[in-house]
Structure 1
Amino acid sequence: MQLSSNEHNNFSLERFESMLKTNSVLFFDSEEFEEIVHHYLENGKIALAKKATKLGLEQHPSSTNLKLFQIEMYIFENKLDIADELLDELHQLEQSNEEIYIQKANIFSRRDMHKEAITLLEQALEITADEADVLSLLGMEYLFLEDYENAKLYFMRCLEEDEEDYSALYNIIYCFEFLDEYEAAIDYLNDFLNKNPYCEVAWHQIGKQYYELKDYKKALAAFDFAIISDDRFIGAYLEKGRVLEKLKRYEEAIESYSITLGLDDPTSYALLRIGKCYEKLGNAEMAIQFYTKCVEEDSLLDKGWIAITDFYIKNKQFQKALYYIEKAINIDSENVLYWKRYAKINNKLNLFEEAEVGFRKALELGNYELESWLTRGDILTNLGEFEAAVNNFNQSLEFYPEHAEIEYRLSGLYFTLNENDKGAFHLKNALKSEPEFLMIIEELFPQVYQMPAVVEIIKEHKNPSL
């Protein structure tokens, strides 16, 4: 009885793995070795693939395909010089093998020599029987060069060769989007759908283009067609939910998001959006329930923790907001969005030292918003940490040169520290640019505001002829 192809492959694998366990040596023809190596590569078992290639070349030292597998693994391990040398040897023997050109192009690509890779792939294209794969590789090389027009053209040719190559379709749309050609993308997708009317991926992509153009009704219709084409297409339900939110149809959005929870394991994104919809509907209990599920599902999703925290901040429940943002910080202490909220919540609770820590961490993590500098400086001033406040404001001037709100504060601090020359310098700078902000000195430094030297500078500014 003749074995089917799958049975034959399984039999070969079983024999090979049995040989490894018993340390015996069995003979396999070169095609069997190729199938074994391919199987291991497909399943990410690189060590076994290398073992099979080595044994295969010992039994079939002239096998080009096994040598190409060996080269592919050298490239994977970034041993590019060895792979390059072996390819040169193979090229001397077989100048019409497109795989040699493809692997050589792969090496050039790894070395960021994308134009050279393209030249070799063009040569491979002339001799290959499988144009779609080579066209796709050419498209990728043009993407690396950020030449989106050419990348788009090659992916289009690839899709013409293989209409089920959805990765090529995604890449085409990516190029259109990068070029801000949303309407051209819609035209292209409509042409594609005329030939493939039940392609759920194309309907999904056309819906996304309409969403970008804010044509939500057409986007909604497209996502509905995607769902008709494949009623288990999770991406289409999620996008449909987003559109329904934009249309303020929150109950329907919840329904669309909820369908995805039954199709697969719940995604934190769907749980978060359901929570947002319930919050918009004024259903606080259900909103919190879904926000909590969201962070339980994915504790690293900062949007989940921020949603819970912001919910309690809006409702002025600052102690609860603080509880959740502290939990978030314990999970990810490098998240600037967490520290900003931690600072603001503690400030609201009059926990000024903690608030100062929060603003300092946010600044250290690269959040250089003016508000962060100003609020942190004011907190340090209120705590009597005048030198630290001066340092804070001087640093902020690097990002906001001669900004009046900073200059007035520095003036007040320097006068407080009896560094009157510096105080006068910053006060004059501030008065020149924003005299109406003089109230900052009056409110934050009332004693300074009444100092004779300060009164004189203000008077001279108002009456320059005096």
Structure 2
Amino acid sequence: MKFNHEEEDNNISITRYESMLRSNDLKFFDSDEFESIIHHYLENGKIAKAKKAISLGLSQHPSSVNLKLLQVEVLVFENRLEKANNLLSQLYALEPENEEIYIQKANILSKQNNHIKAIELLNMALGYTDDSADVYSLIGMEYLFMDDFENAKTNFMKCLEADDQDYSALYNIIYCFDFLEQHEEAIEYLNMFLNKNPYCEVAWHQVGKQYFDLKEYEKALAAFDFAIISDDYFIGAYLEKGKVLEKLKKYNEAIENYRITLELDDPTSFALLRIGKCHEKLGNDELAIQHFSKTVHEDPLLDKGWIAITDFYLRKRDYQKALYYTNKAINIDSENVLYWKRYAKINNHLSFFEEAERGYRKALELGNYEIETWLNRSDTLRHLGESDTSIQNLHQAVEFYPDNAEVHFRLAGLYYEIQDYEKGEYHIRKALDLDYEYHIILEELFDKIFNLTLVKNIISEYK
């Protein structure tokens, strides 16, 4: 095991410092020790403790520029930008070549949405820094804030050239490629990177994902295999490999890869769900349901798990069980549109029309404005004898789908049924103008209206 002396020294400093605070017995620490103590608190989000350490540090080392820069960092974090700026101006007069002054000044400008000026200062910092990778990464982030993905990508690439272990830079480069939909270019870049770093599992993993997006599954498979060779504990590579094998219909092999992830770490709902889906494809119904149940047990908030169980029973036409699981899902998350759509569909199959109508209504209330939802609710309301509400519902649909023939044919049928012939004629003509073929809807849903002579005459005009 590699022994890290620096880390041990830091731990000793933190222990001594916290012991001093408890005993209220003031001890001396050099400025480097205070820096490591403050960094420790900042990295762990303990801002109040960091501020106390900065205050004590400056009382013992009042001229320490580095401690004052940490004070600036805290001021920026707290949005006290004017005070931070004033302190930076004083520090600049003392050390005009300290790159951290430019970085903190850029940080303030970034918070004020002045990204171009922030980039200017970060470019100046490059002239003074020994850690160019960090600065290039910051420049890349500024370009990302401006949605300038090309320049962001270029700077993250420079960051990776300076430090080929900075995987966050590698992820950011791929993020830019993906946003620009440059999959081929991404693969080319990653292959170039892999020529220098052949055992970089992260790069192989990313190559695989690019090939997956391009639907080149065999190449994706090879890339994920190389990622696993580079790190056989790399859970992400096994999961992605499983997804590829599913696409290739190699379900048993996919299950095998998902199983490995369960052995390497705590089970994930994603892996359990995929195993269930593979078993379903293989016709192993018992094992499929077993894994879907484990999925919702592992993560009750994962809607894909509940939907998998519900859809499984829907396909089997076991509507009672499908309804049982949909109700359980709704009890956990009553704001999920996907649950309410299934609730409506299942109740329709069971001829529970009031409950079906409630499901469609709830889906609409939650913002699911698909045309099918409006039409199904309208048909269900009519079945319940609520013609006026059905008409009202269709007029709401017209606001979203003004040129949908199915909506207008239904409105025509409903208006003729309540003997409002003027409105009936308006909507049938509108519908026939939009799509003559859809007049079959009248025949299927409103056969009595369809057989009226006046309706047949109107339809014949449009042949």
1:250, 1:211 → 2: CA distance? 17
TM-superposed CA distance for 1:24, in Å, is: 3.1
Whole-Å separation in 1 of the counterparts to 2:130 and 2:244 = 44
**Counterpart position of 1:206:** 207
Kindly state the Cα deviation for residue 210 of structure 1 after the two structures are TM-superposed: 1.4
Question: What's 2:390 paired with?
Answer: 389
Q: Please tell me whether the aligned partners of residues 96 and 127 of structure 1 are also in contact (alpha carbons under 8 angstroms).
A: yes
Aligned to 2:85: 84
- Give the 3-state SS of the residue equivalent to 1:384 in structure 2: coil
The SS at the match of 2:134 is: helix
Q: Note the 1:452-463 alignment, pairs <5 A.
A: 455-463=453-461
Q: Flag the 1:83–1:427 CA change in 2: closer, same or farther, 3 A.
A: same
Letter in 2 for 1:435: Y
Aligned: 1:403 with 2:404 = yes
Task: Identify the residue that residue 430 of structure 1 maps to in structure 2.
Answer: 431
Matched residue, 2:30: 29
Deviations 1:407-458 (A, max 9, x none): 121122223334332222112212333333333334433444455xxx3254
Map of 1:363 onto structure 2:
364
After superposition, the C-alpha distances for 1:355-391 in whole angstroms (9 at most, x for unaligned) are 1111111112221111111000010111111121111
Q: Is 1:407–1:427's contact at 8 Å kept on the other side of the alignment?
A: yes
Bigger CA drift: 250-259 or 136-145?
Answer: 136-145
Give, in whole Å, the separation in 2 of the partners of 1:322 and 1:248.
30
- Native 8 Å contact 2:200 2:227 kept in 1: yes
What is the correspondence of 1:152-191 to structure 2 with a 5 Å cutoff?
152-191=153-192
Matching residue of 1:47: 48
Identify which range, 179-188 or 273-282, moves more after superposition: 179-188
Tell me the residue number matched to 1:66. Answer: 67
Mapped contact 2:269–2:299 kept (Cα < 8 A): yes
Counterpart Cα distance in 2 of 1:285 and 1:461: 53
SS at match of 2:127: helix
- One-letter code aligned to 2:454: E
Task: Describe the superposition over 1:306-364 as per-residue Cα deviations: whole angstroms up to 9, x where unpaired.
Answer: 11111111111111111111111111111111111111111111111111111111112
Aligned to 2:267, the other structure's residue is in SS state coil
Q: Cα offset for 1:58?
A: 2.3
Q: Which moved more, 1:232-241 or 1:413-422?
A: 413-422
Taking the aligned partners of 1:29 and 1:226, their CA distance within structure 2 comes to 45
CA distance in 2, matches of 1:61, 1:138: 32
Q: Any residues of structure 2 matched to 1:309-328 within 5 Å, and which?
A: 309-328=310-329
Distance 1:5 1:373, change over 3 A: closer
Aligned partner letter, 1:382: H
Q: In 1, are the aligned partners of 2:143 and 2:149 still within 8 Å (CA)? A: yes
Aligned counterparts of 2:341 and 2:461: Cα–Cα separation in 1? 43
TM-score by length of 2: 0.95
In 1: Cα distance, 2:436 partner to 2:214 partner = 44
Deviation of 1:82 (Å):
2.8
Q: How does 1:245-284 map to 2 (within 5 A)?
A: 245-284=246-285
Give the Å deviation of 1:278.
0.5
Task: Give the conservation status (yes or no) of the 8 Å contact 2:429–2:458.
Answer: no
C-alpha contact 1:223 1:236 (8 A) present in aligned 2? yes
Contact 1:428 1:457 in 2 (8 A): no
CA deviation vs aligned residue, 1:118-148 (integer Å, no higher than 9, x gap): 1111111111111000011111111111111
Distance 2:388 2:458 in 1: 29
Report if the CA contact (8 A) 2:432-2:462 is conserved.
Answer: no
Question: Structure 2 CA distance, aligned partners of 1:356 and 1:134?
Answer: 59
Range with greater deviation from structure 2 (5-14 or 267-276): 5-14
CA contact (8 A) 1:71 1:83 kept: yes
- Return 5-14 or 214-223, whichever deviates more: 5-14
> Which residue of 2 is the match for residue 419 of structure 1?
420
8 A Cα contact 2:449 2:455, kept in partner:
no
Among all aligned residue pairs of Structure 1 and Structure 2, give the percentage whose two residues are the same amino acid. 64
Alpha-carbon distance in structure 2 between the residues aligned to 1:55 and 1:242: 55
Give the secondary-structure state (helix, strand or coil) at the position aligned to 2:253: helix
Deviation at 1:460, TM superposition (A): 4.4
What is the one-letter code of the residue matched to 1:260?
T
For 1:7 and 1:140, the matched residues in 2 are separated by 33
- What is the rounded CA distance, in whole Å, between the counterparts of 2:294 and 2:462 in structure 1? 65
Which SS does the other structure have where 2:233 is aligned?
Answer: coil
Measured in 1, the distance between the counterparts of 2:451 and 2:8 equals: 95
Q: Determine helix, strand or coil for the equivalent of 1:127.
A: coil
- Equivalent residue for 1:217? 218
Counterpart of 2:335, as a letter, is E
CA RMSD of aligned residues (A): 1.9
Unaligned residue ranges in structure 2 (runs of 5+)? none
Distance 1:358 1:69 in 2: 56
Paired position in structure 2 for 1:337: 338
In structure 1, the partner of 2:131 is 130
CA drift of 1:92 comes to: 2.9
Q: 1:189 to 1:442 in 2, by over 3 A?
A: closer
Question: How does the TM-score come out when normalised to structure 1?
Answer: 0.94
**Deviation at 1:245?**
0.8
Distance 1:267 1:7 in 2: 35
Q: Which digits, 9 at most, give the CA deviation of each residue in 1:15-64, with x for residues without a partner?
A: 21122212332222222211111111222322211211122122222221
User: Hey, what does 2:140 align to over in structure 1?
Assistant: 139
Q: Decide whether aligned partners of structure 1 residues 7 and 150 sit closer, same or farther in structure 2, where only a CA change above 3 A counts.
A: closer
Residue 193 of structure 1: aligned partner: 194
Q: Distance in 2 between matches of 1:463 and 1:387?
A: 29
**1:459 partner letter:** N
Evaluate the alpha carbon distance shift between residue 37 and residue 399 of structure 1 in structure 2; reply closer, same or farther with a 3 A threshold.
Answer: same
Alpha carbons of 1:11 and 1:404: their partners in 2 closer, same or farther (altered >3 Å)?
Answer: closer
Change in Cα spacing, 1:165 to 1:350, as seen in structure 2 (3 Å) is same
Q: Distance in 2 between matches of 1:463 and 1:307?
A: 49
Give the equivalent residue in structure 1 for 2:96. Answer: 95
Measure the CA separation in 2 of the matches of 1:431 and 1:464.
7
TM alignment of 1:222-233, pairs within 5 A: 222-233=223-234
